[in-house]
Amino acid sequence: MGKTLINILLFIILTSVSALANGEHLKTLKQETDPKAFKILKEKSIDPKTGLLETLDPHHFKGKARQAYQIAKDIPEVLAQVPCFCDCDVFGHENLLDCFIDQHGAG
pLDDT at 49: 92
* Global model pTM greater than 0.75: no
**What pLDDT, in 10s, does the model give residues 81-91?**
998 887 888 88
- d(Cα 20, Cα 5) in Å, to the nearest integer? 23
**What pLDDT, in 10s, does the model give residues 26-59?**
434 577 788 898 899 999 999 999 999 999 999 9
Residue-wise DSSP of the chain: --HHHHHHHHHHHHHHHHHHHHT-B-TTS-----HHHHHHHHHHTB-TTTSSBPPPPGGGB-HHHHHHHHHHHH-HHHHTTS---SSGGGGT--SGGGGGSSGGGG-
**What pLDDT, in 10s, does the model give residues 5-24?**
666 766 666 555 444 434 44
Mean pLDDT of 73-96: 89
